[in-house]
Structure 1
């Protein structure tokens, strides 16, 4: 028993002696790694500051800053391990890093895919920070483009985090990619209104609205002969194309168009429906040459149209005749019963 305790105590003493022997190296390694860690942050901040005033190079500065930070921290880690374990060679570290990289690649495939997609997005710049984009059902302003995900702020004050791999492999609408943007809205006028007059009034209303660009010029084209309206599409250009400015200018343009059209007697009808009551008892039912409901009547005898009031009166007459027949039948039956009783007596 005493020998076993003695063996355990000797091992503890050996471990303690080894720790105290390595303690200076451990402290030195921590100091070196801390220096490299703060140096990496300084390098990242310096790269970002160099590209901060250039909008086109700002995303590239983010990429280079993060890569420089990661490389510096990795170099500090290698040096710190070499100080703690002097027998560890650089080749062993590279080999260990390669094996670990393969394992990590299989385990974190989605993370690495998003990372590579984020690097490509930052380098190719399909959109930039502060751009307003539309991705599937999401729309908002780009706040951050990180190496893993992109964050956008919606117009109602919410944050959406979208993985970079989805942004890179799917279609994205960038509303602020260019300086000017064209807006459009369909306006329905009555079939009895003059199209040219309505067109000129719509163009005048757009030209008189402050904020509508004179070049490219606004236009108004007929796009549809709808069920109850003739639809004219008003199109105008704005600058800048940001969401708040677009909505404000659209409000002014549509208000001016509505006021100008109504002031000049142009009708803005609402949808209407025409209901045709089809008489299934007519002999010409289904004959397109004579049927009047739905098709123009052809030559020859055409059934006269019947109004709803006529149909109601006709039904009332049939009902009254039926009641009268029943009443007369009951009176005749009563008289016959009385006569039969008198003859029996």
Structure 2
């Protein structure tokens, strides 16, 4: 019984001490509650104001939301640490900071790929090498950008497939932006017979492409001969087109082929077919007709 009485006395003493300490801490608790309320109000006010300011500077919704969210959480964390200090829980603050550092280090190793994509997304959002609606080629994928997030880049390919590329891959590899200038050069390979007047062919090709679809008429059409082929003299036709979608390029190329073919037909300019020699196993110097006659004679003798 004595042990039980001592335990009860010890428990009551502890409870009484805690009660006295709680009464002494009531002003601090009231200040802490007020401080928490003020922290939430100020953080929300600053976040709303920052959203308006950043929205005028940057047009990336993902980046704007990221910056405002980070600032909002940082303000809440500062207010929370002040509250702990008011409640005289400084040791808890130190323990929390140490715990946050250890947890952050562990998460950094565990999610380093996600972190790399996240950081790459931030850099891409700041540098803006491309935007939604641009036609790009990267990592062997070609298509229109549909969405730029802080983790992935969504590309819609001309054949309809949607590709989600991690930002790390896009950031570390070359990116070709076909829409950056609004124009694109179209190179078309053509061949004509060796018997044609090359200067005449050059002039007819230039005249034929004057009104080709989407052509930028302030830039000249170039026709340059570049090779003696097996059955033709080859040249390149180069001209610039207005470019915003891949259909602009495809339709201009198709129209150029049609116009060149019509112009060459109207002027009796021949686009030669490749020449192929077929080997029937005939001995040198003998004609094919003689070989056929020998085959027929051989069959006639066997029939008799």
Any gaps of 5 or more consecutive residues in structure 1? 52-56, 283-304, 325-345
**Alpha-carbon distance, 1:245 to partner:** 2.4
Aligned to 1:114, the other structure's residue is in SS state helix
Query: Using a 3 Å threshold, how does the CA distance of structure 1 residues 29 and 105 change in structure 2: closer, same or farther?
Result: farther
Moved more, 116-125 or 315-324: 315-324
Query: Using a 3 Å threshold, how does the CA distance of structure 1 residues 146 and 50 change in structure 2: closer, same or farther?
Result: same
**Alpha-carbon distance, 1:306 to partner:** 2.2
**Alpha-carbon distance, 1:115 to partner:** 1.3
Aligned to 1:207, the other structure's residue is in SS state coil
TM-score of the two chains, using structure 1 as the length reference: 0.67
**Alpha-carbon distance, 1:108 to partner:** 0.4
> Do residues 46 (structure 1) and 52 (structure 2) align?
yes
Any gaps of 5 or more consecutive residues in structure 2? none
Decide whether the 8 Å contact of 1:28 with 1:83 is kept in 2.
no
Query: Using a 3 Å threshold, how does the CA distance of structure 1 residues 245 and 318 change in structure 2: closer, same or farther?
Result: closer
Residue 123 of structure 2 corresponds to which residue in structure 1? 120
| Cα RMSD (Å) | 3.6
**Distance in 2 between the 1:26 and 1:151 partners?**
46
> Do residues 73 (structure 1) and 60 (structure 2) align?
no
Greater CA radius of gyration, 1 or 2?
A: 1
**Alpha-carbon distance, 1:47 to partner:** 4.2
**Distance in 1 between the 2:54 and 2:250 partners?**
34
Query: Using a 3 Å threshold, how does the CA distance of structure 1 residues 267 and 35 change in structure 2: closer, same or farther?
Result: farther
Decide whether the 8 Å contact of 1:176 with 1:241 is kept in 2.
yes
Aligned to 2:206, the other structure's residue is in SS state helix
Residue 296 of structure 2 corresponds to which residue in structure 1? 316
Q: How many residues align?
A: 280
Deviations 1:21-61 (CA, angstroms, capped at 9, x unpaired): 9x99999899678757855763564245313xxxxx534x7
Deviations 1:188-212 (CA, angstroms, capped at 9, x unpaired): 2233333222221111112233532
**Distance in 1 between the 2:249 and 2:190 partners?**
18
Decide whether the 8 Å contact of 1:191 with 1:229 is kept in 2.
yes
Decide whether the 8 Å contact of 1:188 with 1:229 is kept in 2.
yes
Decide whether the 8 Å contact of 1:39 with 1:72 is kept in 2.
no
TM-score of the two chains, using structure 2 as the length reference: 0.75
Deviations 1:224-280 (CA, angstroms, capped at 9, x unpaired): 333333322111011245323223333332222221111111123343422244445
Residue 163 of structure 1 corresponds to which residue in structure 2? 166
Aligned to 1:58, the other structure's residue is in SS state coil
**Distance in 2 between the 1:115 and 1:121 partners?**
10
Residue 54 of structure 1 corresponds to which residue in structure 2? none
> Do residues 264 (structure 1) and 267 (structure 2) align?
yes
**Alpha-carbon distance, 1:102 to partner:** 0.6
Aligned to 2:225, the other structure's residue is in SS state strand
Moved more, 252-261 or 241-250: 241-250
> Do residues 58 (structure 1) and 52 (structure 2) align?
no
**Distance in 2 between the 1:199 and 1:222 partners?**
9
